Amino acid sequence: MNTRPLPETPLFALEAAVPPVLPIASHASVDVAAPPEAVWSALTGGGAIAAGPGLVGLAGLAYPMRGRLLGQGVGTIRLGEFSTGLARERVTEWVPYRRLGFTVLAQPPAMEEMSPYRRVHSPHVQGYFNTGATRFTLTPLASGSTRLDVDARHVMRIEPVLYWEPLAKLAIRINLSRVLNDLKQKAERAGNTVGPP
C-alpha cells in the first residue's frame, strides 16, 4: 500500500497557512442639503450614529458606532468606536470643510464570536479583515448643498475568497451607507446655523 502524500499536499497546506491577500477599495457618496461647514461639523463632532446596524449587526460583523477626534490637524488621533471594540486611527489629511483622511493604527476584530457569553475575545477572529485608510471629501455644490464622498481601503486574508469577498463587500457598503446617512441627517438638522469659515 502506497502511503506517500500526493505532490499537491504541501501546496494545499501552504495555501491554508497563508491565505491570499485581497485588497478591497470601496467608495460611497451622498448629497447633503447643507453647506460644507455643517457637514464638516457633523463629521468632526463625534456624535453617536443613531441608526441601528441592520443586517451587519445581526450577522455579528463589526459596525461603527462613533468616531471621536482627540484634537485637530494632521497627526491627531481619532478613536473609532465599533461594536467589537475600539480602533485607533491617525489623521493624515486635514483640510477644514473639504477633506478628512485617516489611517488605522490598531483595530478591533472584524466580527464577534457567536457564543452564549456576552463577550468572547478570540484570536481566530482577528487579522482576517483590516481597514487601512479612509478619506472623506466634501465638495460644495452650486445649490448650496454638499456632496460627501468616502473612500476606504481594506485587506481581506481569508479563504475561500469566492465565499467571503461578496459578504465583505456587502458589509462595507452597508456600513459606509449608514455612516454617510447619519452625517447627512446631522448636517441637515444643523442646516445653515453654522457660520462661514
| Region 7-11 average pLDDT | 51
* Residue 7 counted as domain residue: no
pLDDT digits (tens, 9 = 90+) for 19-38: 578 889 999 999 999 999 99
CA distance 179 to 84: 17
CATH of the domain at 117: 3.30.530.20
Per the structure, the complete domain to which residue 41 belongs is given by: 25-193
Residue 164 belongs to a domain = yes
What is the domain count for the chain? 1
Is the pLDDT at 195 greater than 70? The verdict is no
pLDDT of residue 160: 73
Mean pLDDT across the stretch 135-153?
Answer: 97
- Residue 23 C-alpha cell reads as 485588497
Q: Residue 12: inside a domain, yes or no?
A: no
Q: Is residue 15 part of a domain?
A: no
Q: What is the pLDDT of residue 14?
A: 47
Mean pLDDT of 165-171: 85
Please check whether residue 42 lies inside any domain of the structure: yes
Q: Is the pLDDT of residue 125 over 80?
A: no
Does the pLDDT value for residue 123 go beyond 70?
no
Q: How far apart are CA 137 and CA 40, in angstroms?
A: 10
Q: How far apart are CA 73 and CA 101, in angstroms?
A: 10
Position 194 pLDDT exceeds 80: no
- The answer to whether 123 touches 135, Cβ cutoff 8 Å, is no
Report yes or no on 29 lying in a domain.
Answer: yes
Per the domain annotation, does 20 fall within a domain? Answer: no
Maximum average pLDDT range among 79-83, 96-100, 124-128: 96-100
pTM of the model: 0.78
Residue 9 lies in a domain: no
Ramachandran region, residue 80 (left: φ > 0; alpha: ψ -120 to 50; beta: rest): beta
Q: Residue 186 — very low, low, confident or very high, per pLDDT cuts 50/70/90?
A: very high
As a whole number, the mean pLDDT across the chain is: 82
